[in-house]
Copies of this chain bind each other. A is one copy, B any other.
Amino acid sequence: MTPTPKVKPTNSELEILRVLWDRGASTVGQVHEVLAAKRDMGYTTVLKMLQIMMEKGLVSRDDSRRQHIYTAAAGEQSVQRQLMRDLLDKAFAGSAANLVMHALSAKKATQQELQEIREILDRLEGESK
């Protein structure tokens, strides 16, 4: 089980977590490189963010070497579930079906993804039978 963070990540923090989830353990420079490609963002800004996230327990780091190496402490799955629940409550009045409907129309899923979703449905339906 991935640990559930105590705090809900802010938007910027989520951007950084995204990088760490995708790349795995990274230096500040590596995270910065990825983010700077998308939008303007100074090196020390990223550094500071990571330091704050360290305090909040969202990342952990190895500072045994010259360049500190940061790792996402909050598991991708856990954070996703947390954000999902939050959005479900606040914006969708708890209706998962409604949310799914919007998710699918917000972004076209591939044939393969649609197939995967069918499988999830099958599994869920099987369980509740």
**Which A residues are closer than 8 A to B by beta carbons?**
11, 14-15, 18, 21-22, 77, 79-81, 83-85, 87-88, 90-111, 113-114, 116-118, 120-121, 124-125, 128
Distance to closest chain B CB from A96 (angstroms):
4
Give the number of times this chain occurs in the complex, counting copies. Answer: 2
Q: Which residue of B lies closest to A129 (CB)?
A: B111
Complex contacts, A21 vs chain B, CB 8 Å: 93
Asked whether A109 and B97 contact (CB < 8 A) given A103-B103, A114-B125, A121-B114, the answer is yes
Instruction: Give the distance in Å from the alpha carbon of A97 to the alpha carbon of B107 in the complex.
Output: 9
| Beyond known contacts A14-B91, A96-B106, A101-B116: 19 more, CB 8 A cutoff | A18-B93, A21-B93, A77-B102, A80-B99, A81-B105, A87-B87, A96-B103, A96-B108, A100-B103, A100-B104, A100-B109, A100-B120, A101-B120, A103-B103, A108-B124, A109-B124, A114-B124, A117-B117, A118-B118
